[in-house]
Amino acid sequence: MTSLEFHPKHQYVREERFPHVWCPGCGLGILLQSYIGAVEKSGIPQDNHVLVSGIGCTARIPGYVNMDTYHTTHGRAIPFATGIKLANPDLKVTVISGDGDLFNIGGNHFIHAARRNMDLLVICSNNFNYGMTGGQHGATTPPTSKSASTPYGNIEPAFNLPHLAYALGASYVARWTVMHPRQLVKSIKTAMEVKGFAFIEVLSPCPPNFAKFNGFADGFEEMEFYRSNSIVRNEAKLDDISIDPFHGKPVVLGDFVNRKRASYVTLERELIKKSMEGSR
Amino acid sequence: MTDVLPPGRYFTDGNFASTEGAILAGCRFFAGYPITPSSEILERMSKRLPEIGGHFIEMEDEIGSMAAIVGASNAGMKSMTATSGPGFSLMQENIGLGMITETPTIVLDEMRAGPSTGIPTRVGQGDVMQTRWGSHGDLAPITYSPNSVQESFDLTITAFNAAETYRQPVIIASDQVIGHLSETLEVKSEDEYEIVQRQTRKVRNGSEDVYNYSDDFVPMFVSGTGFRGNVDSLTHDEKGYPSNEAYVEKKMLEHLLNKVRKNEDKIVKYEEFYLDESDIVVVAYGITSRAAKYAVKIARKEGIKAGMFRPITLWPFPEKRITQLSQRTKTFIVPEINYGQYSHSVREVGQIETKEIHFTPGAVPDYKVILDQIRRSVS
């Protein structure tokens, strides 16, 4: 066999599981590629990485990755991952899931994991709607945009996810799109080195749903719209970066936060040490 | 303090006993959310686990607690949570996750008066069917019902062993009175207890699958040990990969159900009193069984041929024994602190006259009500 018969990242994927479930024009293939690119660059052995997801299109990513992977219940990836991380703090535990999973049904778990500064990397693919169930609106759907359940336009405000994560105390916060794969790989790799809670929002198109409902011809056109309506501002004020390109406001991207805060695992280790000494 | 409770006689309550039984069984991870009447378990775990190198986390809710213990178990730790009705309702989702992913873990549900918030500080037995059918889909749950402080200790160990043996969440359906009453607990030395240790697989051997549906038990793999397996809440094949096919669902589901059904004789536990020539058999569990036993004793003194059957495993249902008893007795009486739950299964299996006694949740059952029913059943 020549090396040409294998994809360079062959060892990181379960080839027998392909083709994948995603639609033509979806961004999740790029996110999958970016994650394993970061794993490769991380210097952490492949078997020390664990990937956990909830339910939805993004949550199917772990199923294609050749490591210990957990496809859990809707919204519960973060507490499940918390259990794994505490049981074995030596593992690099990443949660990869969609905006609906992490911020609608799973919102409570997100805010508490970030508050605890739990040693997890959470990557959220944000496509502004529930993709797998047919494009209904959720907590990240931009105001006025249409979805399968907002036929007259969305009247709800949307989450500003980096601002939320920062306010809760996350050690690391970034936002990219799948049209920024190099920055994204770098960002995920950096986040893997963080002690504490790291959060990356990744904008991704949803061709059959959000794109269709909001006048984009396909996924690429939707992505191109975000790319050409976005700016990189690492030093951006996070309260001012809500996503609303439909009203002339560019999407702000960047590696916004990388700060040192005592992480949960660090503090728990100290607590256990002190408690074990005290008990003798 | 050593890792486990030193042997000896203790005067203590059910919550203390459950906690220490869990630790002796090897529990080193507890995630929970405070709720009356089980909070003392969480509180004691928060003190005990760190001092023996274990992990305790107070989660944001019971949904997260259940998810965390299923996660921790997949990373190799014997894990547990404790709750009561409202929290137990929230845990159903991830009890199902534990079932489909075949993850051993323990849920202690200390029943209180319901529905909804009900009376948090008062006893109930209204979750009995929820321990059977609470999570959606077909399940073969294992549920233990302690009726004393001693059993709160002993059955917690048994429950951990069953969870490891059958690789699934196991439920302990205790109640507010058992959790809070104080009486004698006898603890033997650690080596006198049989503890089922976790069997695991590490680096994958060639094309070895995550599951084997023709086998009742396949050791699980532990996160981060090189197995590279997929654990999935979707219906999955033996490789652990999701599938939409009905034949995969059939294979997986029948494996999940049969590993318990085929081993019912090993799992089912019960206790019997005065069953020789008994025309009337009182079927009672948990705190109610203590009132029932007293009533049966008095009835016997009065010359009434009454006996008592106490299921210790509520589920799997002690079907064989109830069938046998129904062939030589006239009447079952099923007192419960609810408006008729376990009685339905007793009637369905026994096929003889089955009288229900409905104790209203909120109070300890009065033995006189059971005694009256026994007397009326004779005449």
**How large is the average pLDDT for residues A74-78?**
98
Q: Beta strand pairing status for B270-273 and B306-311?
A: antiparallel
- Which site among B233, B234, B237, B241 would you substitute to test the A interface, given the most A Cβ atoms closer than 10 Å to its Cβ? B233
> Is B371 within a domain?
yes
Q: Return the pLDDT at A160.
A: 97
* Torsion sign, CA atoms B16, B22, B25, B28: negative
Q: pLDDT band for position A280 (50/70/90)?
A: low
To which residue do tokens 């040409």 refer?
A: A4
Cross-chain residue pair B67–A91, CB shorter than 8 Å: no
**How large is the average pLDDT for residues B268-290?**
96
Verify that B185 and B295 share a domain, yes or no: no
Choose the closest CB to B224 out of A68, A75, A86.
Answer: A68
The A residues from 201 to 230 touching B (CB cutoff 8 Å) are none
Verify that B64 and B156 share a domain, yes or no: yes
Q: pLDDT band for position A279 (50/70/90)?
A: low
- Which site among B70, B201, B222, B230 would you substitute to test the A interface, given the most A Cβ atoms closer than 10 Å to its Cβ? B230
> Is B290 within a domain?
yes
Q: Return the pLDDT at B2.
A: 66
Q: Return the pLDDT at B257.
A: 98
Burial class (CB in 10 A: 0-12, 13-18, 19+), B136: exposed
A278 contacts in chain B (CB < 8 Å): 51
pLDDT digits (tens, 9 = 90+) for A33-61: 999 999 999 999 999 999 999 999 999 99
Q: Are the C-beta atoms of residues A92 and A44 closer than 8 Å to each other?
A: yes
B77 contacts in chain A (CB < 8 Å): 87
Cross-chain residue pair A70–B1, CB shorter than 8 Å: no
* B192, B215, B236 - which closes a domain: B192
**How large is the average pLDDT for residues B165-181?**
98
Q: Return the pLDDT at A5.
A: 79
> Is B292 within a domain?
yes
Q: pLDDT band for position B303 (50/70/90)?
A: very high
**How large is the average pLDDT for residues A9-33?**
95
> Is B178 within a domain?
yes
* B124, B159, B192 - which closes a domain: B192
**C-beta neighbour count of A56 within 10 angstroms:** 22
Verify that B294 and B188 share a domain, yes or no: no
Cross-chain residue pair B68–A268, CB shorter than 8 Å: no
Which residue from A269, A265, A273 is spatially nearest to A121, judged by alpha carbons?
A265
* Per-residue tokens: B310: 């106490």
Closest-CA distance of chain B to residue A21, Å = 11
Q: Are the C-beta atoms of residues A143 and A155 closer than 8 Å to each other?
A: yes
Cross-chain residue pair B224–A275, CB shorter than 8 Å: no
Verify that B281 and B184 share a domain, yes or no: no
Choose the closest CB to A79 out of B59, B225, B234.
Answer: B59
The B residues from 96 to 115 touching A (CB cutoff 8 Å) are 96-97
Verify that B188 and B279 share a domain, yes or no: no
Verify that B188 and B277 share a domain, yes or no: no
- Which site among B223, B231, B235, B236 would you substitute to test the A interface, given the most A Cβ atoms closer than 10 Å to its Cβ? B223
Q: Return the pLDDT at B89.
A: 98
Q: pLDDT band for position B329 (50/70/90)?
A: very high
Q: Return the pLDDT at B86.
A: 98
Q: What residue numbers bound the domain in which B277 lies?
A: 270-378
The B residues from 181 to 240 touching A (CB cutoff 8 Å) are 221, 223-234
Cross-chain residue pair B223–A276, CB shorter than 8 Å: no
> Is B243 within a domain?
no
For residues B314 and B281, what is the distance between their CA atoms, to the nearest angstrom? 17
pLDDT digits (tens, 9 = 90+) for B114-152: 999 999 999 999 999 999 999 999 999 999 999 999 999
Verify that B277 and B159 share a domain, yes or no: no
- A88 part of contact set with chain B, CB < 8 Å: yes
* B152, B174, B192 - which closes a domain: B192
Closest-CA distance of chain A to residue B206, Å = 14
Cross-chain residue pair B224–A14, CB shorter than 8 Å: no
Cross-chain residue pair B71–A83, CB shorter than 8 Å: yes
**How large is the average pLDDT for residues A211-223?**
95
The DSSP output letter for A3 is G
- State the CATH number of the domain containing residue B301: 3.40.50.920
Overall fold of domain A3-278: Rossmann fold (3.40.50)
Over 90: is that where the pLDDT of A244 sits? no
Cross-chain residue pair A109–B73, CB shorter than 8 Å: no
pLDDT digits (tens, 9 = 90+) for A149-175: 999 999 999 999 999 999 999 999 999
Verify that B29 and B162 share a domain, yes or no: yes
> Is B316 within a domain?
yes
> Is B214 within a domain?
no
Residue A19 preceded by cis peptide, ω within 30? yes
**How large is the average pLDDT for residues A218-234?**
94
Q: Beta strand pairing status for A49-53 and A92-98?
A: parallel
Note the ipTM here. Answer: 0.97
Q: Beta strand pairing status for A251-258 and A172-177?
A: antiparallel
- State the CATH number of the domain containing residue B68: 3.40.50.970
Choose the closest CB to A84 out of B72, B221, B234.
Answer: B72
Over 90: is that where the pLDDT of A75 sits? yes
Choose the closest CB to B242 out of A50, A63, A109.
Answer: A63
Q: pLDDT band for position A3 (50/70/90)?
A: low
B59 contacts in chain A (CB < 8 Å): 79, 82, 112
Over 90: is that where the pLDDT of A246 sits? no
Produce one character per residue of A74-104: b if its CB has 16 or more CB atoms within 10 Å, e if not.
Answer: bbbbbbbbbbbbbbbbebbbbbbbbbbbbbb
Q: pLDDT band for position B216 (50/70/90)?
A: confident
- Domain ranges across chain A: 3-278
**What total of structural domains would you count in chain B?**
2
The A residues from 43 to 72 touching B (CB cutoff 8 Å) are 47-48, 50, 52, 55, 62-63, 66-72
Verify that B187 and B57 share a domain, yes or no: yes
Cross-chain residue pair B52–A112, CB shorter than 8 Å: no
Q: pLDDT band for position B206 (50/70/90)?
A: confident
Percent of chain B with pLDDT over 70: 99
**pTM higher than 0.90:** yes
> Is B108 within a domain?
yes
Over 60: is that where the pLDDT of B297 sits? yes
**How large is the average pLDDT for residues B350-374?**
98
